[in-house]
Chains A and B, each alone.
Chain A
Amino acid sequence: MKLKIGKRALAAGSAALLGAGLLAGCGGSSSGTTTAAGSTTAGTTTAGAATTAASGSSGEKVTVTFWDENAGDQRTEYYQKLIENFEKENPNIHIEYLGLSSSDALSKYQTAITAGETPDVGGVNNAWFATLQSMGHLVSLDDMLSGSSINSEMDQNYLSVIKNEAKDGKIYMMPTSANFICLWTNDSLFEKAGLQAPKTWDEFFADADKLTDTSNGVYGYTIRGGASSPAILIDFIYSYLGRTDVFDENGKCTINSPEAVDFVTKYFGLYGKDTPESDITAGYKEISANFDSGVSAMLTHNLGSYSSHVTAFGGTTGFTCNPLPTASNGKYINNGSAITGLAMFDTCQHKEEAWKWIEYMCSHEGNSFWNQSIGQLPTNTKAYDDSWIQDFQNIQTAINTVKQSNCESYNIPMYLPEYGTINQTYIEPAIQSVMSGDMTAQEMLDEWAEKLTEAYNDYKS
């Protein structure tokens, strides 16, 4: 009965809504059409990056088109605030924002590049920066940077990561934000077990086991077996090995060294025993849900999941961000390449204005606001001293860890054009085969090493 009433009410309500929608749709659609058509002519010219209409008709106002590679309702809002501020400071520039959903952003860029319809400035994720860069339509920003006041303020480590990823050693993307791979822990589950966050890998394995209480549906860890599992695994392997060279002096990949095989065997030994069985196909949203629902006591991810934990735990307490365990040789190996930034495309006709926007996002003001909003690491060193840094336990952990003298970044082979393909086409399914016991860790790592070595030698030649 209740359902029936609900249905009827819903129907009535929706009918009213549609009536209004139709009216608005009809009244608006005629005007909508004209504006659509009107703005289309203007739009095609701007999107064609010729911006002649903008600069020609009004004389001075220049439009810079800008794509956000990971749109979400909150991020769009933050960008809108930044744009507002920027436009106030630069009244002759208009930033035209377009949000792209993260899962499809790369393909939109690829199509746009092929057709010469790229924006002036685009947000780029380092995970696919090399793919984009190798297509050869990004503008090198070195000269503009060297003439800018932000040159001395930028974190040099992040810049060198970007330089390393281009064959000519130039800067094709200005880092605006950096991430940090961390081990999130559930405080109350650790307290109940009388444990502290693991400092070494041995502790990590022991804790995962101790925290597991299958009768209550609690697991020590949640392992990523689905989308992007190789990205996490390679971080773990080099972090465990305590070494930074993915390729040795002979150009051979080190990922299948005997220690790595031992580690991976042990690591996937956790699956099903100390992790939920569903982890074999779990991507980010599933492992994150495991942690947020209290099913898993530990989760490996980056700073980015902070806000989802805050929502789930109902506040900023109850969970902690920890660095990954330290290797037995005392080194802390960090993935220094988890960067997002802004790139300029060669279709850009107003390089000066476009650079101003990029510069603003890297400036103390813009960079600090942006990273405070999205909860990631600033790339402008001046922002490190800002007070908001103290408010975020996760950011503080990240900065403190990176500052440690034993912290080194390993040379993640993201610069290889085939890196993504190898991981996705071969290694991701192979990891699942290891998890289900159809393949040994040795076999999987051998395959990985062989593919990476081949790609590396290809790249070098």
Chain B
Amino acid sequence: MNPKVKHGISRTFFYIALLLFLIFIIIPIYWCIVTSFKHSAEITSSVVTYWPKQFTVENYINAWLQSGFEIYFRNSLFISVIGVVFIVVISVLSGYALARFKFKGKNVYMLILLCTQFIPGAMLLTPMFLIFKNLGLLNNLFGIVLVDVTFHVPFNAIMMRGFISGIDYTIEEAAQIDGCSRLQAVCKVLLPILKPGIATVAAYSFISCWNEFLFTFMFISKQNLLTLPVGLKNMVGEYTINYGQLAAGAIIAVIPTLILFSFVQKNLVGGLSAGAVKG
């Protein structure tokens, strides 16, 4: 077969596959956006409308004006930004230890990291509440950062181990032979190559911090220290669910994460590391 034709066929399959994924992923997103522009009555109507009959931005205005939404937004941003810095730094340290060293207790350490993930947070709530109370960290945004770091470091450290061990150690070694100290080798050679991994871990931890609900709900008893997920949950009353406003609020809430990711994804470009190896 002519390689060009062959190439054409595989390209066609490629685009069909892309399209199928796109449809599956985008339909709920589309529905979320459309719902956020509908009036309540239209959302619960048995006649499903694919596009808002009466287009309204009311939901966005109400969501934003809902008491405290702006403060919640700021609190969430504070928690997430600080949380991400902590998580990324600690994960790189742990990940590097796991990927580059053989040491006694390595497997035990790995299992300890995994063990932290075995029990759902809801089960650990009361004892953790007592610890934070004794430390005076209830009703404190930094307390929530500590919770986030505790729960998300193990996961991200393991991910980071994967990313670091995917990079050939000889690169660092070469730098050390060239006269770099080990730390210099890590900073100058490893970290730039690790950018996709760091970017990914940053994105993971940002999402986890940004969407954390349970511990904020439990540990914060002051209205002006609440975060977005708690505020969003309050839109679901016992007998009233304002779907439109919930969708609008959630879309506003997801924007920072998406913008962050649009920067992150630029680091997910093939061939970067290859260049680094040669250089």
- Using a CB–CB cutoff of 8 Å, the interface residues on chain A facing chain B are 11, 14-15, 17-18, 21-22, 24-25, 28-29, 32-33, 36-37, 39-40, 43-44, 47, 65, 67, 70-77, 80, 96-104, 107-108, 110-112, 114-115, 117, 119, 217, 284-285, 288-289, 292-295, 301-302, 304-305, 307-308, 311-314
Q: Which residue of B62, B234, B259 contacts A71 across the interface (Cβ within 8 Å)?
A: B234
Whether, in the assembled complex, B191 has its beta carbon less than 8 Å from a beta carbon of chain A, the answer is: no
- What's the minimum C-beta distance from B111 to chain A, rounded to whole angstroms? 29
CA–CA, A9 to B225, complex, Å?
32
In contact, A14 and B258 (Cβ under 8 angstroms): yes
Q: Which residues of A contact B218 (CB under 8 A)?
A: 107-108, 111
Which 10 residue pairs of A and B lie closest in terms of their CB atoms, listed nearest first? A72-B237, A304-B239, A293-B46, A43-B139, A102-B238, A101-B233, A25-B77, A40-B140, A14-B255, A71-B234
Q: Which residues of B contact A40 (CB under 8 A)?
A: 139-140, 225
Chain B contact residues, majority secondary structure: helix
Stretch at the interface among B4-12, B122-130, B266-274: B122-130
CA–CA, A436 to B25, complex, Å?
33
Interface size (B, Cβ < 8 Å)?
Answer: 50
CA–CA, A65 to B220, complex, Å?
13
Q: What 0/1 pattern do residues 225 to 238 of B give for CB contact below 8 A with A?
A: 10000100111111
- What's the minimum C-beta distance from A370 to chain B, rounded to whole angstroms? 15
In contact, A311 and B40 (Cβ under 8 angstroms): yes
Q: Which residues of A contact B67 (CB under 8 A)?
A: 73, 76-77, 80
In contact, A70 and B78 (Cβ under 8 angstroms): no
CA–CA, A285 to B138, complex, Å?
34
Residue of B nearest to A102 (CB): B238
In contact, B78 and A117 (Cβ under 8 angstroms): no
Given A18-B259, A76-B67, A70-B237 contact (CB < 8 Å): yes
Q: Which residues of B contact A37 (CB under 8 A)?
A: 140, 142
Q: Which residue of A33, A76, A80, A314 contacts B141 across the interface (Cβ within 8 Å)?
A: A33
Residue of A nearest to B233 (CB): A101
In contact, A285 and B234 (Cβ under 8 angstroms): no
Whether, in the assembled complex, B195 has its beta carbon less than 8 Å from a beta carbon of chain A, the answer is: no
Residue of A nearest to B134 (CB): A115
Given A14-B259, A32-B78, A293-B44, A65-B221 contact (CB < 8 Å): yes
In contact, B40 and A74 (Cβ under 8 angstroms): no
In contact, A70 and B136 (Cβ under 8 angstroms): no
In contact, A72 and B235 (Cβ under 8 angstroms): yes
Whether, in the assembled complex, B162 has its beta carbon less than 8 Å from a beta carbon of chain A, the answer is: no
- Using a CB–CB cutoff of 8 Å, the interface residues on chain B facing chain A are 40-41, 44-46, 62, 66-67, 73-75, 77-78, 81, 122, 125-126, 129-130, 133, 136, 138-142, 217-218, 221-225, 230, 233-242, 245, 255-256, 258-259, 262
CA–CA, A24 to B239, complex, Å?
35
Q: Which residues of B contact A18 (CB under 8 A)?
A: 255-256, 259
Identify 20 residue pairs between A and B in the complex whose beta-carbon atoms are under 8 Å apart, listed by A's number: A15-B259, A17-B255, A18-B259, A25-B78, A28-B74, A36-B75, A36-B78, A43-B222, A44-B138, A73-B62, A73-B234, A77-B67, A99-B223, A101-B234, A101-B236, A107-B122, A111-B129, A288-B239, A294-B46, A311-B40
In contact, A33 and B78 (Cβ under 8 angstroms): yes
- What's the minimum C-beta distance from A106 to chain B, rounded to whole angstroms? 12
CA–CA, A219 to B41, complex, Å?
20
In contact, A104 and B217 (Cβ under 8 angstroms): yes
CA–CA, A262 to B35, complex, Å?
44
In contact, A47 and B138 (Cβ under 8 angstroms): yes
In contact, B78 and A29 (Cβ under 8 angstroms): yes
CA–CA, A307 to B73, complex, Å?
29
Q: Which residues of B contact A11 (CB under 8 A)?
A: 262
Q: Which residues of A contact B217 (CB under 8 A)?
A: 100-101, 104, 108
In contact, A115 and B240 (Cβ under 8 angstroms): no
Q: Which residue of A15, A21, A75, A117 contacts B138 across the interface (Cβ within 8 Å)?
A: A117
CA–CA, A261 to B218, complex, Å?
43
In contact, A39 and B44 (Cβ under 8 angstroms): no
Q: Which residues of B contact A301 (CB under 8 A)?
A: 239
- What's the minimum C-beta distance from B26 to chain A, rounded to whole angstroms? 9
Q: Which residue of A72, A107, A292 contacts B44 across the interface (Cβ within 8 Å)?
A: A292
Given A28-B74, A71-B234, A98-B222, A114-B41 contact (CB < 8 Å): no
Residue of B nearest to A36 (CB): B141
CA–CA, A302 to B240, complex, Å?
12
In contact, B234 and A119 (Cβ under 8 angstroms): no
Residue of B nearest to A29 (CB): B78
Q: Which residues of B contact A117 (CB under 8 A)?
A: 129, 133, 138, 221
CA–CA, A292 to B47, complex, Å?
12
Q: Which residues of A contact B222 (CB under 8 A)?
A: 39, 43, 47, 96, 98
- What's the minimum C-beta distance from B78 to chain A, rounded to whole angstroms? 5
CA–CA, A33 to B75, complex, Å?
9
Q: Which residues of A contact B125 (CB under 8 A)?
A: 107, 111
- What's the minimum C-beta distance from A2 to chain B, rounded to whole angstroms? 10
CA–CA, A71 to B258, complex, Å?
29
